[in-house]
Amino acid sequence: MTEQHQHVYPVREEFAANAWIDNEKYLAMYQQSVDDPQSFWAEQARRLDWVKPPNQIKNVSFASNNVDIRWFEDGELNACANCLDRHLETRGEQPAIIWEGDEPSDSKTLTYRELHEGTSRLANALKSLGVKKGDTVTLYMPMIPEAAMAMLACARIGAIHSVVFGGFSPDALAQRVVDAQSKLVITADESVRGGKQVPLKDNVDSALTREGTEVVDNVLVVKRTGGDIDWHDGRDIWYHEVVDKQSNDCPAEPMNAEDPLFVLYTSGSTGKPKGLKHTTGGYLLHAAMTHQYVFDYKDGEVYWCSADVGWVTGHSYIVYGPLANGATTLMFEGVPSYPTHGRLGEIIDKHQVSILYTSPTAVRALMAHGDHVMDSSSRKSLRLLGSVGEPINPEAWEWFYRVIGNEQCPIVDTWWQTETGGIMISPLPGAIDLKPGSATRPFFGVRPALVDNEGHILEGATDGNLVILDSWPGQARSIWNNHERFVQTYFSTYEGMYFTGDGCRRDEDGYYWITGRVDDVLNVSGHRMGTAEIESSLVAHDAVAEAAVVGYPHDIKGQGIYIYVTLTDGVEPSDDLKKELTQWVRKDIGPIASPDVIQWADGLPKTRSGKIMRRILRKIAANEVDGLGDTSTLADPSVVEDLIENRVNC
């Protein structure tokens, strides 16, 4: 990508004139935020409602022998009260959530007052089921308002939610329930996406037969479809039966700023998924502030983030950020391609959406169908577009801008991670000229740097590993039950710095261009997956002796999953076996981990010490076989020739 030849989209004057932050303000505030974080964040913290305002602002150590991250540690607040109660007087009758169902005929609106009532009743119901402050509750839910209410109800009583994406398998769910030790699971009978039912309750039933899940006392079930489900008396409870009879008065529990708000599992390069622990004060401040400034959110606008609440994007930018700001947040149950590819635009017109925040994958999938998919809508209400989850290629960026945004809307390409809690690098649309494919400049308080493999900080225009030099309020504080792994994963690669796992380039203008993961993490359609997770699933199959998983460039998904499998002695390769292994992984992890390509391999390229040389496997999968680089350390070079010869076209 040569940005010299690239189009720059300057900030429009009319936009800057009405924006919260213009260029001058960005530069001044950014400078203050890094020069004097204590006073900057003390001032910003006032945007929240505190039961006890904090005097201690920032207390952080990134030293690998003592990673300790605290923000506002003597302050007290409640996240749910910040999202609901404080808006009742000024905007009680304003829509808080606009819900758009899977079927276009199915939608409803909840005002702040209604959301507050429903959440308070549910919070009382949780209490009646014995959920206490500090307990964890696992949510495995469709994209329905009850999912937001469940998160907020937990926050209201000081319980810690752990949302598990509804596309994960029973095993993946069980693993997360056990790790978090949840006594309660909240789910629905079924979810509906793209006209198809997903058997959520059935999945919970089978998850709860797994070892260690006896910790679960109750399953609270929302009736979404009325579909047929099994019922376990004494354990299962209908949501409506217990919630409807509760009082709508439930005082919000004052929480310390550093009390956990939620745990959210994500994949890393090794081992099992890790539960990132996010706390109350700093997280909420970061989510709210970025939501206002990055999306330039103005009172009364309809804002739509098309993510699922099962991911961090849904936490920060469907629920906490927008609601803390008193915004109207649109929640969509379905998929952009159902009933037709025009749906996304039709939803924008129907609800007069001003701001759309979506993924490069969604954009590329629509783009593949051609410009005419947008013919059924005008999208005149749009003012701003956002992208998240993976690098957006300039071609998709341009299409997003031209076709979806009618050349009227700036695009904010927002780089961040589950670990960062909120947006870290992104244009502020009234302040920063846009370059398609670049996440541009850091948000307030964020100090990115690029380092070489030895951890030396690199200056000027260069490529490098992306690190963050100092803490920001929304940062995850630890890995649930495993602080050592937290330190190991993020703070031991480069001493004194937070390592993101991403590679990045900085250009002459100081713009950041994220190039993708430099570790063994895949990003498939914006979903993050560890190659190790998929490999350990495969080798658990009797037919598999060894497996290696790599990503390869995929036109729509960004990355596809390419698998090399060595079969156990006596097992014959066949298409049926490929299908079986595909089903195996889907069942083990979930449909998002479906292999795109399986190649049978007699052997895998290894060093003499037995380490698989993934660099080579990645090159073969990407069909870059002329540039394999140094192969002199290979134990058996003939393995590589064999793999090249039998490469599967994709």
**Which residue numbers belong to the known binding site for CoA?**
193-196, 313, 525, 586
400/416 with CB nearer ligand WT7: 416
CA-CA distance, 332 to 353, in Å (whole number)?
12
**In the bound complex, what is the minimum distance in angstroms from residue 389's beta carbon to ligand WT7?**
5
Q: Kindly state whether residue 559 participates in binding ligand WT7, applying the rule CB under 6 A.
A: no
**In the bound complex, what is the minimum distance in angstroms from residue 327's beta carbon to ligand WT7?**
19
Q: Kindly state whether residue 501 participates in binding ligand WT7, applying the rule CB under 6 A.
A: yes
Are 501 and 518 in contact, with CB atoms under 8 Å apart?
Answer: yes
**In the bound complex, what is the minimum distance in angstroms from residue 397's beta carbon to ligand WT7?**
11
559/599 with CB nearer ligand WT7: 559
**In the bound complex, what is the minimum distance in angstroms from residue 385's beta carbon to ligand WT7?**
13
Are 489 and 518 in contact, with CB atoms under 8 Å apart?
Answer: no
**In the bound complex, what is the minimum distance in angstroms from residue 119's beta carbon to ligand WT7?**
25
CA-CA distance, 288 to 301, in Å (whole number)?
15
213/440 with CB nearer ligand WT7: 440
183/272 with CB nearer ligand WT7: 272
Establish how many alpha carbons lie within 13 A of residue 418's alpha carbon, considering only the half-sphere containing its beta carbon. 27
**In the bound complex, what is the minimum distance in angstroms from residue 155's beta carbon to ligand WT7?**
20
Which of 48, 172, 312, 487 is close enough to bind ligand WT7 by CB under 6 A? 312
Helix (H, G, I), strand (E, B) or coil at 121: helix
**In the bound complex, what is the minimum distance in angstroms from residue 417's beta carbon to ligand WT7?**
4
Instruction: Identify residues 431-460 at the interface with ligand WT7 (CB under 6 A).
Output: 439
Are 497 and 467 in contact, with CB atoms under 8 Å apart?
Answer: yes
Which of 415, 480, 552, 564 is close enough to bind ligand WT7 by CB under 6 A? 415
Q: Is 35 exposed, middle or buried (0-12, 13-18, 19+ CB in 10 A)?
A: exposed
Which of 179, 502, 588, 596 is close enough to bind ligand WT7 by CB under 6 A? 502
Q: Is 353 exposed, middle or buried (0-12, 13-18, 19+ CB in 10 A)?
A: buried
Point out which residues pair with 196 in neighbouring strands. Answer: 193
Contacts of 244 (CB under 8 A, 6+ apart): 121
425/620 with CB nearer ligand WT7: 425
Map residues 385-404 to x or -, x wherever contact with ligand WT7 holds by CB under 6 A.
Answer: ---xxxx-------------
Q: Is 288 exposed, middle or buried (0-12, 13-18, 19+ CB in 10 A)?
A: buried
157/439 with CB nearer ligand WT7: 439
Map residues 282-311 to x or -, x wherever contact with ligand WT7 holds by CB under 6 A.
Answer: -----------------------------x
**In the bound complex, what is the minimum distance in angstroms from residue 523's beta carbon to ligand WT7?**
5
CA-CA distance, 261 to 283, in Å (whole number)?
8
Which of 414, 525, 531, 537 is close enough to bind ligand WT7 by CB under 6 A? 414
At residue 273, what is the residue type? P
Map residues 512-531 to x or -, x wherever contact with ligand WT7 holds by CB under 6 A.
Answer: --x-xx-----x----x---
Q: Binders of ligand WT7: how many residues, by CB under 6 A?
A: 23
Map residues 255-284 to x or -, x wherever contact with ligand WT7 holds by CB under 6 A.
Answer: -----------x------------------
Are 611 and 633 in contact, with CB atoms under 8 Å apart?
Answer: no
Identify which range of 146-154, 183-191, 323-331, 384-392 contacts ligand WT7 by CB under 6 A. 384-392
CA-CA distance, 596 to 561, in Å (whole number)?
5
**In the bound complex, what is the minimum distance in angstroms from residue 409's beta carbon to ligand WT7?**
17
334/437 with CB nearer ligand WT7: 437
Map residues 607-626 to x or -, x wherever contact with ligand WT7 holds by CB under 6 A.
Answer: --------------------
Where is the binding site for Mg(2+), in residues? 539, 541, 544
502/596 with CB nearer ligand WT7: 502
State residue 201 phi and psi, 5-degree precision.
-65, -40
Identify which range of 125-133, 137-145, 238-246, 494-502 contacts ligand WT7 by CB under 6 A. 494-502
Are 600 and 565 in contact, with CB atoms under 8 Å apart?
Answer: yes
Q: Kindly state whether residue 164 participates in binding ligand WT7, applying the rule CB under 6 A.
A: no
At residue 251, what is the residue type? P
DSSP state of 403: I
Identify which range of 242-250, 339-347, 407-415, 618-626 contacts ligand WT7 by CB under 6 A. 407-415
The residue written with tokens 């070892």 in the block is 211
Point out which residues pair with 77 in neighbouring strands. Answer: 255
**In the bound complex, what is the minimum distance in angstroms from residue 28's beta carbon to ligand WT7?**
25
Contacts of 638 (CB under 8 A, 6+ apart): none
390/520 with CB nearer ligand WT7: 390
**In the bound complex, what is the minimum distance in angstroms from residue 424's beta carbon to ligand WT7?**
9
**In the bound complex, what is the minimum distance in angstroms from residue 448's beta carbon to ligand WT7?**
13
Helices (H) and strands (E) in the chain, counts: 21, 31
Instruction: Identify residues 454-493 at the interface with ligand WT7 (CB under 6 A).
Output: none
Are 410 and 402 in contact, with CB atoms under 8 Å apart?
Answer: no
204/521 with CB nearer ligand WT7: 521
Q: Is 20 exposed, middle or buried (0-12, 13-18, 19+ CB in 10 A)?
A: middle
Query: Which secondary-structure segment (H or E) carries 156?
Result: helix 145-157
Q: Nearest CA to 519 among 278, 312, 266? A: 266
Quote the tokens at residue 407: 């050349």
264/373 with CB nearer ligand WT7: 264
CA-CA distance, 223 to 369, in Å (whole number)?
35
95/273 with CB nearer ligand WT7: 273
Q: Nearest CA to 42 among 82, 81, 72? A: 72
Contacts of 462 (CB under 8 A, 6+ apart): 450, 505, 506
Q: Nearest CA to 144 among 94, 190, 205? A: 190
Quote the tokens at residue 439: 């996440």
Where is the binding site, in residues? 193-196, 313, 389-391, 413-418, 502, 517, 525, 528, 539, 541, 544, 586
Where is the binding site for ATP, in residues? 389-391, 413-418, 502, 517, 528
CA-CA distance, 331 to 95, in Å (whole number)?
12
Which of 76, 236, 413, 535 is close enough to bind ligand WT7 by CB under 6 A? 413
At residue 386, what is the residue type? G
Q: Is 262 exposed, middle or buried (0-12, 13-18, 19+ CB in 10 A)?
A: buried
Q: Which residues bind ligand WT7 (CB under 6 A)?
A: 266, 311-313, 388-391, 413-418, 439, 500-502, 514, 516-517, 523, 528
